[in-house]
Amino acid sequence: MPSSAVNRLSNLQARIATAFVIGPLAIAAAWLHHGTWVALIAVAVVAGGREWARMMVPHAALLLTLRLGAGLAAAAVVASLFGVPWGLGVLLAAVALAWLPWPAAGEAGPALVGPLAWGLLYLGPSAVALVWLHAQPGIGLTLVIWVLVVVWTTDIGAYASGRSIGGPRLWPAVSPRKTWAGFVGGLVLGSLGGLAVRRLAVGDLSPSVVAVAVAVSLASQAGDLLESGIKRRHGVKDTGGLLPGHGGVLDRLDGLFVAAPVFAMIHAMAGDDLRWQ
């Protein structure tokens, strides 16, 4: 077997193995207690904020990490305690404050304004959405597992089909390695993953559920492309090396950053039309 094929296989195995380690940990946190889930979300967004800071302003990464992490963690905790409107309010307030002068930041202050505001908008909505989904009475655990499975299976399907089939590139200017085969494979496997969880949890597969699974899988791939574009603009291959086969926290959660808010909005608008129990 050619070395390139071996590398692709080993990378795929690393991605799957990482998913099988992180997946049960995330589901266990969601199953144990709402506070445990909120703590996990806060840790994840703070870790993502650290990677964002190092990518955006390496010379002042610590200062940006502290401010970004504080805003993100506060939004997640407030959303948990008082509801989504308050959590989003804290997030928007943090974004507004990011544009104010920072005397204590010294010379680094002006360089932190944009990265802080955009980092809050990039990472914050997913944190608030995941906290809100988990807080839904009687169905929170199911909703969280559902969106996680859709994102994970979309990622694995896109990677496996893209690397094994190849073919025309999806958007070379943003992500040279992503292919149309990967896009279709991710959409198919991600949608099937969502339908499988729905079938196990509720027992039905209505057309509306199929449409939601497709929409959230598409949102996950949009999140992947968005992060690829950000990394390409800043000349970064991986945001970190914490997770084998994935890179950093941002690399692993990029799809979730878009998929979670999209699913939360769909669920909020659909109401009882999407019965989950």
Spell out the SS3 assignment of 212-271: HHHHHHHHHHHHHHHHHHHHHHCCCCCCCCCECCCECHHHHHHHHHHHHHHHHHHHHHHH
Q: Is residue 21 pLDDT above 90, yes or no?
A: no
Give the integer Cα–Cα distance in Å for 16 and 27.
Answer: 16
The end-to-end CA distance of the chain, in Å, is 48
Give the integer Cα–Cα distance in Å for 204 and 49.
Answer: 39
Asked, for residue 16, whether it belongs to a domain, the answer is no
Give the integer Cα–Cα distance in Å for 255 and 238.
Answer: 15
Q: Is residue 145 pLDDT above 90, yes or no?
A: yes
Asked, for residue 262, whether it belongs to a domain, the answer is yes
Asked, for residue 143, whether it belongs to a domain, the answer is yes
- Specify the 3-state DSSP secondary structure of 64: helix
Q: Is residue 193 pLDDT above 80, yes or no?
A: yes
List the domain range (segments joined by +) for residue 196: 137-277
Same domain, 89 and 145: no
Same domain, 153 and 254: yes
Same domain, 97 and 82: yes
Total domains in the fold of the chain: 2
- The encoded tokens of residue 196 equal 């499988």
Say if CB 130 and CB 144 are below 8 A apart: yes
DSSP 179: E
pLDDT band, very low/low/confident/very high, at 1 (cuts 50, 70, 90): very low
Which pLDDT value is given to residue 214?
A: 97
Give the integer Cα–Cα distance in Å for 215 and 208.
Answer: 10
Same domain, 144 and 277: yes
User: Once rounded to an integer, what is the mean pLDDT over residues 223-235?
Assistant: 91
- Could you tell me the maximum CA-CA distance found in the chain, to the nearest angstrom? 59
Give the integer Cα–Cα distance in Å for 230 and 169.
Answer: 18
Asked, for residue 25, whether it belongs to a domain, the answer is no
pLDDT band, very low/low/confident/very high, at 173 (cuts 50, 70, 90): confident
Give the integer Cα–Cα distance in Å for 205 and 42.
Answer: 33
Same domain, 171 and 256: yes
* Residues in contact with 26: Cβ distance below 8 Å, sequence separation at least 6, in sequence order: 40, 148
Domain stops at, among 67, 101, 135: 135
Nearest to 53 by CA among 250, 229, 259, 232: 250
Which pLDDT value is given to residue 11?
A: 64
Same domain, 129 and 154: no
CA 140 to chain centre: 18
User: Once rounded to an integer, what is the mean pLDDT over residues 151-171?
Assistant: 89
- Residue predicted with more confidence, 254 or 19: 254
Same domain, 94 and 201: no
Q: Is residue 213 pLDDT above 90, yes or no?
A: yes
Which pLDDT value is given to residue 177?
A: 82
Same domain, 127 and 167: no
Asked, for residue 272, whether it belongs to a domain, the answer is yes
Domain stops at, among 135, 152, 173: 135
Beta pairing partners, 171: 175
Same domain, 276 and 150: yes
Q: Which of 107-121, 147-161, 200-214, 255-269 has the lowest mean pLDDT?
A: 107-121
Same domain, 51 and 128: yes
pTM over 0.95: no
133-137 own/partner pairs: CB under 8 Å, 24+ apart? 133/260, 133/263, 133/264, 133/267, 134/30, 134/34, 134/37, 134/38, 135/34, 135/80, 136/267
Q: Is residue 186 pLDDT above 50, yes or no?
A: yes
Same domain, 78 and 207: no
Give the integer Cα–Cα distance in Å for 145 and 50.
Answer: 26
Token look-up 């002042």 returns 60
Q: Is residue 92 pLDDT above 80, yes or no?
A: yes
pLDDT single digits (tens) 47-71: 899 999 999 988 888 888 988 989 9
Asked, for residue 76, whether it belongs to a domain, the answer is yes
Asked, for residue 100, whether it belongs to a domain, the answer is yes
pLDDT band, very low/low/confident/very high, at 127 (cuts 50, 70, 90): very high
Which among 157-166, 170-179, 187-196, 235-244 has the top mean pLDDT?
Answer: 187-196
Asked, for residue 86, whether it belongs to a domain, the answer is yes
Which pLDDT value is given to residue 10?
A: 62
Which pLDDT value is given to residue 60?
A: 82
Say if CB 94 and CB 74 are below 8 A apart: yes
Say if CB 19 and CB 156 are below 8 A apart: yes
Tell me, what amino acid is at 42? A
* Residues in contact with 229: Cβ distance below 8 Å, sequence separation at least 6, in sequence order: 174, 175
Domain stops at, among 96, 117, 135: 135
Which pLDDT value is given to residue 229?
A: 92
Same domain, 153 and 108: no
